[in-house]
Amino acid sequence: MTKKTILVGLDGATFTLLDPFMQQGVMPFLKSFVEQGVRADLRSVTPPLTPPAWTTVLTGRSPGHHGIFDFFQADGPGSTTIRLATSGDIQVDHVAELVNRAGQRASVINFPVHFPPLPIDGAVIAGWMPWRQLRLGCYPPDLYDRLKQLPDFNPRELAMDMALEARATEGCDEDEYVEWVGLHIRREERWLEVLNYLSDNDPTDLTAVLLDGPDKVQHLCWRFLDPALWPAQPTAEETRIREASIGYYRRLDTILAALVEKAGPDATVVMVSDHGFGATTEVFHVNSWLEQAGYLAWSQDVSDELNEGDTLGMGHLSRHSRWLDWDRTKAYVSTPTSNGIHIVRAEQHDGRGVAAADYAAFRAELIEALLSYVDEDGKPVIAAVATREDAFDGPAGALAPDLTLTLRDGGLVSILPADPILAPRPQPVGTHRPLGVFMAAGPGIRQGAAIGEMSLLDVTPILLHSLGIQVGDDLEGHVPTGLYEPEYLANRPVDVVTRGDAGKVQPAKSAGQVIYDEEAEAVLMARMRELGYVE
Amino acid sequence: MNTNTQTITRNDVWEATISLLEQLAEDWDFGEEITGDTLLFTDLGFQSLDAVILGNTLQERFGRPIPFATLLTEIGQRSVNDVTVDEWVDFTTLSLQAATSVN
Ligand SMILES: [Zn+2]
């Protein structure tokens, strides 16, 4: 039996903020939604980062199986060059594909790692797209032209305008905070317009949409939002920024109300975040720590490049590959977004790095050194170190970092050279935390119940069960029994099916995922040299 | 479009690239004609992510990998950080033909 099901992703939403907002009347709709449904803490993946976490939500598989670990992806096992992760890197079935296979339709709107869009029966609009290329992130191919006809359609607001986004990482003055919040209010309004259009003109059994404003607003405005950080005597300016920031949640509440009303009383609505949020108060310069500990050496180019300033971001992605002296580097961090340390393996780097026979001992020594690193007061800085087997067990884990750090303040590392290695931030800023939110309401779902901690892995099974589709036994999560009224679940039990071969890792789905082999690259480089492209 | 057994010509790549850029330019209200001399970054206002998306889309169209990261890194080291449509098409054509020649 088909039952319309809506998944609303709220990137970075946390009960640390939502609970006071529900109590204080900022989010009256959400308050009534939770009173009529079930809530739970929702545990994220390691690391609690947007791309791997949403991929887990939409596949029901952990990163070691689905293959997404960061915004970026190594070109191959042991490769020191990285590129943006694409949908072709996802190694398992997407929930939309499972839904299609059961004869139902799905729309998947604004999630990361969805470019190029999967050709599903329904609609896809990829998230994290530059606004100029949003057309290329839409499926079916005529979707963008249909959306263009909407009265308030504005791709600059729907998708990414790098000129506006760049501000998220820098401190800004009052006007810029207010403008930043306003941009995200307008963005959610544009997405509501798109969803209303699809619901009226091309309704699907499953609709999944990501609203990423909570994450974006919280990264920048956390100290104005977190009750624990709010000063007893705020300045007038601080109060104005707080009011503007809270304005985002007031508007979000009415947008959620509109989405749920549009879905109708018979629909099941599930709201989840990919991770929680908290404050980070310091910066750990991990590559400089590795240098000081004797594991890494910088190349000559670093200071030249840093002095030159930004070069439009070109070649920026793999800049660490130019910055490091590969004859003397055994471990390094290539992205500032996943706290992952890669160990240079001799068998992958012409004998440079750590020999296979020494790997286990080397890694154990490095973990020991990381955990022993202390600040001036003798307090450990690194709370935990996960090995690849701990964090990314599974056939797709070969591209994952060898070690993943959890810092004591929950923050992300810096990969730039710096002295001192550990520096306090001028102001606390928002960063991810492992516990996000789960809220659901609909037919058969218990009313006003808080249930025990759930996992991101449980979301796909819940969506499939709600749609009346069998749940494959390759999925790693399950439908919590406490979610439903016992009689309802008795009449509608979770139908777990053995998937056999279908549950195994699928072959590469996209050309982008194929590794460009070395011989082909050598031919190419020779021809490029002839044409004067390469010196 | 093309399969692995066919040779991809520069003209195939040129047509795919120009039609894609013209379609996108309409979304940006870019009024001028796009030619081989058009600079992606200076004239079309590209940022590196735009180039990555364009590259991936061409890769999908032709069903073969193209090492655009290499091109972007190389552009980043030029004295003028830009690339013309002609150079982009040359690079893409060479990549596709190199991928074919070792098949
Ligand atoms: Zn997130």
Q: Which of A75-79, A322-326, A351-355 has the lowest mean pLDDT?
A: A75-79
CA of A337 to the centre of ligand 1 (A): 11
Q: How far is B15 from chain A (nearest CA, A)?
A: 17
Question: What residue ranges of chain A are covered by domains with CATH 3.40.720.10?
Answer: 5-279+431-530
Say yes or no: ipTM exceeds 0.90: no
Residues in B touching A133 (Cβ below 8 Å): 24, 50, 53-54, 57
Share of chain A above pLDDT 70, in %: 87
Using an 8 Å CB-CB cutoff, list chain A residues near B27. Answer: 132, 134-135, 144, 148, 155
Average pLDDT over residues A265-269: 96
**pLDDT at A286 > cutoff 60:** yes
Range(s) of chain A covered by CATH 3.30.1360: 281-428
| A156 phi, psi to nearest 5 deg | -60, -35
**Residues of chain A found within 8 Å of residue B99, distances taken between Cβ atoms:** 516, 520
Rounded mean pLDDT, A225-247: 94
Cβ of B27 within 8 Å of Cβ of A533? The answer is no
Of residues A90 and B4, more confidently modeled: A90
Give me chain A's average pLDDT, please.
Answer: 89
Q: Band of the pLDDT at B28, cuts 50, 70, 90?
A: confident
Domain A281-428 CATH (choose: 3.30.1360, 3.30.1050, 3.40.30, 3.40.50): 3.30.1360
pLDDT of residue B59: 87
Helix axes A174-201, A213-225, angle to 10 degrees: 150
Residues of chain B neighbouring A160 (CB-CB closer than 8 A): 49
pLDDT of residue A1: 54
User: Which residue shows structure tokens 């923050």?
Assistant: A411
Domains and CATH numbers, chain B: 10-102 (1.10.1200.10)
Predicted TM-score (pTM) above 0.95: no
Cβ contacts of A420 within 8 Å, gap of 6 or more: A285
DSSP E strands, A293-392: 331-332, 340-343, 382-387
Higher pLDDT, residue B31 or A184: A184
pLDDT at A475 over 80: yes
SS3 A263: helix
| CATH 3.40.720.10 corresponds to the domain A5-279+431-530 | yes
Give the mutation candidate from A148, A161, A314 for the B interface (greatest B CB count, under 10 A). Answer: A314
In this predicted structure, what is the pLDDT of residue A478?
Answer: 96
Residue B98 to residue A527, Cβ atoms within 8 A: yes
Q: Determine if the peptide bond prior to A434 is cis (ω within 30°).
A: no
Give the end-to-end CA distance of chain A in Å, rounded to a whole number. 64
Q: Is the pLDDT of residue B3 over 80?
A: no
Residue with more model confidence, B32 or A290? A290
Partner-chain contact A311 B76, CB within 8 Å: yes
Gap from CA of A10 to ligand 1 centroid (Å)? 8
Kindly report, residue by residue over A30-72, the tens digit of the pLDDT: 999 999 999 999 999 999 999 999 999 999 999 999 999 998 8
Tell which residue, A271, A226, A272, has the closest CA to residue A245.
Answer: A226
Chain A residue with the nearest C-alpha to that of B29: A132
- Answer yes or no: are the C-beta atoms of A69 and A401 closer than 8 Å: yes
